[in-house]
Amino acid sequence: MANADSYVTIHMAASLDGFIARKDGRVDWMETSDEFVGGETMDPEFVEAFLKTIDCYVMGSRTYETALRFEAQGLGWSYGDKPTFVLTSRELPRTRDTVRFHSGDLAQFVNGHLRPTFRSIWFVGGGMVSAECLRLGLADEVRYSILPILIGDGIPFFEKLDQDVALHLAEVKAYQSGMVGLRYEVRGDRGELMNSDPEILINSGSRIS
């Protein structure tokens, strides 16, 4: 049975024109140099405490490959020691014990496996996986950090959706760095599979390794 307290968040940072990476996957534009006088600062202690409230991460394979490249460049691993589920149909390198690969039905995976096990579940990209999560009605919340830059073209925050998704604006914060943090709650019912029994997952042929 799904955990009624579980909460699925989609979070990404994007340019003002709605791109999460350049067409070739580069995110160099994220280093902006704006200053918004009167904006809030990011208190490192608050950030650290907040990250502790996240119980697991979910990401697409291309986002994982970007994370591996960052790590190889000495830029660290952004997901701490939290379980990190990578959606892929391929065999990818596994550089740490916390990483698990999954392929198969995403709704059954989230509702039958993640929701009963974890409370705060964060989808951290990319555009393809975020759109799939919304299309299937799996997300409770969308956190959108807008950076003060336009990049003209790139990978969109959400791949095309086939229907409208009504949102409720729950929080707005403007930071000294010029970034604006928006938090929206997804209105309406979660996906129809919310009450899936974990046995459905076992019988669905989904792979968790």
Ligand X SMILES: NC(=O)c1ccc[n+]([C@@H]2O[C@H](COP(=O)([O-])OP(=O)(O)OC[C@H]3O[C@@H](n4cnc5c(N)ncnc54)[C@H](OP(=O)(O)O)[C@@H]3O)[C@@H](O)[C@H]2O)c1
Footprint of ligand X (CB under 6 A): 12-14, 20-21, 25, 27, 59-63, 66, 87-90, 103, 106, 124-129, 132, 155
Residue with nearest beta carbon to ligand X = 126
**Shortest distance in whole angstroms from residue 105 CB to ligand X:** 8
Of 103, 173, 168, whose CA–CA distance to 140 is shortest?
A: 168
**Shortest distance in whole angstroms from residue 71 CB to ligand X:** 13
**Shortest distance in whole angstroms from residue 38 CB to ligand X:** 25
**Shortest distance in whole angstroms from residue 54 CB to ligand X:** 15
Nearer to ligand X by Cβ, of 62 and 186: the residue is 62
Beta bridge partners of 21: 155
Identify the burial level of 91 via C-beta atoms within 10 angstroms of its C-beta, where 0-12 means exposed, 13-18 middle and 19 or more buried: exposed
Nearer to ligand X by Cβ, of 126 and 194: the residue is 126
Which strands form 120-123's sheet, in the order they lie side by side?
Answer: 167-174, 180-186, 141-147, 7-15, 120-123, 56-60, 84-87, 99-103, 207-208
Nearer to ligand X by Cβ, of 37 and 130: the residue is 130
**Shortest distance in whole angstroms from residue 142 CB to ligand X:** 12
Strands (E), the chain: 7-15, 19-21, 56-60, 84-87, 99-103, 120-123, 141-147, 155-156, 167-174, 180-186, 207-208
Nearer to ligand X by Cβ, of 5 and 162: the residue is 162
Nearer to ligand X by Cβ, of 2 and 20: the residue is 20
Identify the burial level of 41 via C-beta atoms within 10 angstroms of its C-beta, where 0-12 means exposed, 13-18 middle and 19 or more buried: exposed
